[in-house]
Amino acid sequence: MLYSRDKLEKENNYKKAENIRVIQVFLGFGFFIFHSLIFFGLINTLLFFIVSFFTSLFLEIIGANKGYVFGKYSYEPALCPGPMFGNVPLLIVMAWSGLIYMSLNCSFLLLDMKINSFISLEHLLMTSMFITILDLVLDPIAVNEGRWKWDSPGKYYGVPAQIL
């Protein structure tokens, strides 16, 4: 809506759209932290986001550099905004933390559990299912945009299927 008069195919408009995407990730991450502080408290918020951030970072570094867990892939630095650590854009890691938080909260809602109740195996399985569905949608889009590529592309829009 902000750039409706110009075509987004123009290089300068693509950069504007990328800036908006970065702002969206930061605003979303900020909202998740704010939401978590209200419903889970400071200690649980810190624990969740520290653990989810570093776990996501660790798994992305292993995947991007060694190919373990997800298969070997690499990020295109020119198309992944923000700083990188271990060949992984930190914005991706922030986004994963937010997606995990959102998915966990959705599992609380669908299982009709109080938001401060104990996280059960059902919660973990449903959260994992939501994350997998999101990945099945988001990964082909990012591959199509050239943000990352798989060393051995698969049949699912260039994304390989891998079962642990």
Q: Could you read off the pLDDT of 11-61 as tens digits, one per residue?
A: 566 667 677 777 888 888 899 999 989 988 899 899 999 999 999 999 888
Instruction: Assess if residue 161 is contained within a domain.
Output: no
In this structure, is residue 124 part of a structural domain? yes
Are residues 158 and 150 in contact, defined by beta-carbon separation less than 8 angstroms?
A: yes
Q: Identify the CA nearest to 131 among candidates 73, 77, 59.
A: 59
Residue 158 is assigned to a structural domain of this protein? no
User: Total structural domains in the chain?
Assistant: 1
Distances (CA, A) of 34 to 26, 45, 91, 96, 101: 12, 9, 18, 17, 12
127 vs 16: CA distance, rounded Å: 33
Does residue 157 form part of some domain? no
160, part of any domain: no
* Residues 65-124: tens digit of each pLDDT: 887 777 778 888 777 777 889 888 888 898 899 999 999 888 888 888 776 667 788 888
Q: Is residue 163 part of a domain?
A: no
Its pTM surpasses 0.85? no
By residue range, what is the domain housing residue 138? 11-150
Answer yes or no: are the C-beta atoms of 151 and 74 closer than 8 Å: yes
Residue 2 lies in a domain: no
Is 156 among the domain residues? no
